[in-house]
A and B are shown apart, each in its own frame.
Chain A
Amino acid sequence: MLFPALWHAIQYSSFGVFLAESPWAFPTFETIHVFALVTVFGTIAVMDMRMIGLASRGRAMTEVSRDTLTLTWTAFVVAAITGTLLFCSKAGSYMVNPWFLSKMSLMAVAGLNMFIFHFFPWKNVKNFDTARVIPGNVRLAGFISLLLWITIICCGRMIGFTLDKYLPADAPGGADAGPPAS
C-alpha cells in the first residue's frame, strides 16, 4: 500500500472518525452515492447502447449525447464527492481492499476509453451521427464502456461485503497484529 500514513491520518482525523461513528452520516452519503451511481450508469448505458447500435437508432448520436451528458457528469461529480466521504470513514481498509482497488483502476480505464473516443472517433461524428452503419471503433468504445461500468458497479457492491475482511497493517487484527483473537 502506498502512503499508509496518509490513509491512517485521514481515517483517524476527527472528520474520518465522525463519518465512521455517526449513526446517520455513512448511510446518508451511501444513499446519495446510490442515487448518483444509478444515474451515471442509467444515462451512460443509453449513450453506449446508441453507440453500439442496440437502441435509439432512430435518433442522431449527438442528440442522445445532449440528453445524457449533463446528467451523467453531474451525477458523476456527486458520486465522486460522496464516494470520497465514504472512503474517508475507513481509508486504510479501502486502500487494501482488492475490490476497491479494482474499481478505481477500472474507472481509470473507463476514463481513458472515453478520452480516446472523444478525441478520435467523435471528431468525425458528423460522418456517422445518423448513419445506418455505425463505425466499428464507435461500437467498440460503447461496448467497452458498458462492460467496464457494469464491472465497476459490481466491484463497488463487493466492497461493502469485504471491507472488514482486508485490514491495513496498522489496524487492530491487521497483518502486524498477529493472528486475530477468534
Chain B
Amino acid sequence: MAGIGETIFNLTEWLRTTPLVDFALWLNAKPMSEWVQSHFYMVPILQMFHILAIAMGFGGVLLFNLRLVGRSGAGTTVAQSAHRYMPWMWGSLVVLLLSGIGMVFGDPVRLLVNPVFWIKMILFVLMLLLSIVHLSTVSRKLRGTANWEPARSAGPAIRISAYTLIILWLCIMAGGRFMAYAPM
C-alpha cells in the first residue's frame, strides 16, 4: 500500500515538471472554467450526470457481455441483446465525455496534475479500443450467422474480451473515485 502511495506521489512530482501545469493554469483562466467555478452547483450536477451515465453504460455493458458468455439473457439472441444495450453504451460514453470535460474545467489543476486522472484516461482509451474491436468482431460474426452463439462456436478470445471490458469499466470507476484522494 505504501509502495503505491509513494509511486503516486513521485508521479505527481514528475507531472509538476511538465508543461501540463501551465496548460492547467491556462485552462483555469478560461471563461468556461470561471463559469463552472463561479456556479457552485455545477460540479455536483455534472457529477450526477456522470454517475447516472456510468450506471446506464455499465448496466448495458454488463448485461450484453453476460449474454455473450451465456450467463444472462436466456431467450434472446446476441443480436437482440446488442441492439438493446449497445446504443445505451455509446450514448452513455457521449454523456460521460461531456460531463467529464465539464468537470475538468471545474478544477483543471487538481485533475490534470494528478497521476490517477491519467491512469484513468489510459484505461478509458484501452476500454474504448477494446470495445471497438470486441463489438466489430461480434457484428462480423452476426453478419455471417444471424443466430451466432459464441457459447457453441467461438474460442476463448470473445469470452476473455467480454470479461475484460467489464473489469476495465470497474477500474475506470475506481480511478474516478481515487482521483479525489490523490495527494496534491
Interface residues of A (CB under 8 A from B): 23-24, 27, 30-31, 34-35, 37-39, 41-43, 45-46, 55-56, 58-60, 63, 66-68, 71, 150, 153-154, 157-158, 161
Contacts of A157 in B (CB 8 A): 44, 47-48, 51
- The B contact surface, by secondary structure, is helix
Query: How many residues on the B side are at the interface (Cβ–Cβ under 8 A)?
Result: 32
Q: Contacts A31-B174, A59-B75 hold; do A42 and B51 have CB atoms under 8 A apart?
A: no
- The A contact surface, by secondary structure, is helix
Contacts of B58 in A (CB 8 A): 38-39, 42
Contacts of A67 in B (CB 8 A): 63, 72-74
The listed residue (A35, A71, A153) touching B48 by CB distance below 8 A is: A153
- Find out whether the CB atom of A43 lies under 8 angstroms from the CB atom of B181: no
Q: A42–B58 Cα gap in the complex (Å)? A: 7
**A to B contact number (C-beta, < 8 Å):** 83
- Find out whether the CB atom of B173 lies under 8 angstroms from the CB atom of A150: no
The listed residue (B1, B56, B180) touching A45 by CB distance below 8 A is: B56
Q: Contacts A35-B173, A66-B74, A161-B44 hold; do A46 and B59 have CB atoms under 8 A apart?
A: yes
The answer to whether B91 has its CB under 8 Å from any CB of chain A is: no
Q: How far is the CB of A12 from chain B (nearest CB, A)?
A: 23
Contacts of A60 in B (CB 8 A): 75
- Find out whether the CB atom of B59 lies under 8 angstroms from the CB atom of A43: yes
The answer to whether B52 has its CB under 8 Å from any CB of chain A is: yes
CB-nearest residue of chain A to B2 = A23
Q: A60–B76 Cα gap in the complex (Å)? A: 10
The answer to whether B162 has its CB under 8 Å from any CB of chain A is: no
